[in-house]
């Protein structure tokens, strides 16, 4: 079977840039100029050490090895997969060219670039099996995807349901705590996605209460563009008055939805738009130029806010997403 490589630029924040420019890329700008096809792993390790003598040996070897694999081991015709934590989507494509140093995009975390022909279809995380999601969960910038996970991804591209398989990858067996924080966040997202629309509103309201606000959640029926109103006094008389719209599993929100939300707001309002399906680039642009302060929360933002304020959440919020704290050696 043709190999598949996960390339996750800047923790997934370059997902849209990869698709827009038809590339997969990695950073390590200090190594990029010398990282040409045929360079040895030892050369890259020595170069890394000379440029950053204070770096720990494990970090040096890991970084240099990932650069070496990106330049030398990935071959044209092999699969590339990348992930957007914000939208819980995977993009899959095929490598069409060699690695190239691109100094003009180095500051964006795209110092080394390979051309990729991306599939038009994106894969939702929930379309894949649990073992595959775990296999793809590593926070490494680049790694080879296990064969069973490759088969699951390619089947999902053809519309076939995920088959339950055990995760017996060597990486999982070698270190069960590897990338545990990232895996935990993704599993919390899995729990949240299963909530219905009303429960999702209650979860967002619970997070806001844990942040120190009092909330009013709109009853079922037309909400006139506001699902939640949060304020210090609970009535919306005291500032800030935060008006919240919550869209759950509805796909990416576009600029029209943002304009509609803003159209009903008072000049003294503060806006929070929550979309577990993410936002289009046009929606983000619309939010940036809004006449009132407006924050956009994806599922990633919801999870991070929930984790940060979980101890202060009430019993009802904890019931919606039950979590427990885990300690392990630093």
Gap between the Cα atoms of 272 and 243, Å rounded: 6
Cis peptide before 102 (omega within 30 of 0): no
Hey, what are 219's tokens? 């009853």
Is the pTM here over 0.85, yes or no?
Answer: no
- How, if at all, do strands 112-124 and 142-144 pair? unpaired
Gap between the Cα atoms of 140 and 159, Å rounded: 28
Gap between the Cα atoms of 113 and 100, Å rounded: 5
Contact between 225 and 240 under an 8 Å Cβ cutoff? The reply is no
Digitized pLDDT (tens) for each residue of the chain, 330 residues in all:
689 999 988 778 899 999 999 999 998 888 888 888 888 889 899 988 888 888 888 888 988 899 999 999 999 999 999 999 888 889 999 999 999 988 898 888 898 999 999 999 999 888 888 888 888 877 788 999 999 999 999 999 988 766 654 444 433 433 455 567 777 888 899 899 999 999 999 999 999 999 999 999 988 766 566 899 999 988 878 889 999 999 998 788 999 999 999 988 888 899 999 999 989 889 999 999 999 999 999 999 999 999 999 999 999 999 999 998 877 776
CB atoms within 10 A of CB 53: 8
Longest dimension (CA), the chain: 67
Domains plus CATH for the chain? Answer: 4-178 (3.10.590), 193-320 (3.40.1350.10)
Query: What residues have CB less than 8 Å from 173, skipping those under 6 apart?
Result: none
Gap between the Cα atoms of 188 and 150, Å rounded: 24
Q: What is the DSSP letter of 297?
A: E
């Amino acid at each position: 079977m043709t190999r598949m490589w996960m390339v996750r630029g800047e923790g997934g924040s370059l997902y849209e840039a990869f698709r827009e420019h038809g590339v997969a890329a990695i950073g390590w700008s200090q190594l990029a100029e010398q990282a040409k096809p045929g360079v040895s792993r030892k050369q890259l390790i020595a170069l890394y050490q000379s440029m950053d003598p204070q770096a720990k040996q494990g970090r040096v070897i890991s970084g240099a090895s990932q650069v070496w694999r990106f330049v030398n081991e990935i071959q044209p015709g092999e699969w590339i997969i990348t992930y957007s934590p914000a939208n819980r989507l995977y993009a899959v494509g095929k490598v069409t060219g060699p690695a190239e140093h691109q100094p003009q995009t180095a500051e964006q975390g795209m110092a080394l670039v390979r051309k990729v022909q991306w599939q038009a279809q994106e894969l939702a995380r929930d379309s894949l099996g649990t073992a595959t999601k775990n296999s793809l969960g590593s926070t490494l910038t680049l790694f080879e995807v296990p064969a069973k996970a490759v088969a699951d991804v390619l089947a999902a591209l053809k519309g076939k349901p995920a088959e339950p398989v055990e995760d017996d990858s060597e990486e999982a067996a070698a270190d069960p705590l590897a990338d545990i924080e990232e895996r935990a966040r993704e599993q919390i997202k899995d729990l949240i996605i299963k909530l219905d629309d009303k429960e999702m509103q209650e979860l967002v309201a619970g997070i806001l209460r844990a942040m120190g606000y009092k909330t009013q959640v709109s009853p079922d029926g037309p909400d006139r563009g506001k699902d939640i109103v949060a304020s210090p006094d609970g009535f919306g008389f005291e500032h800030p008055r935060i008006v919240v719209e919550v869209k759950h599993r509805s796909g990416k929100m576009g600029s029209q939805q943002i304009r509609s939300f803003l159209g009903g707001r008072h000049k003294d309002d503060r806006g929070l738009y929550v979309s577990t399906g993410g936002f289009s680039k046009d929606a983000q642009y619309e939010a940036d130029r809004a006449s009132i302060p407006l924050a956009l929360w994806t599922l990633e933002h919801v999870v991070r806010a929930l984790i940060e304020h979980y101890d202060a959440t009430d019993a009802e919020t904890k019931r919606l997403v039950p979590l427990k704290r885990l300690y392990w050696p630093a």
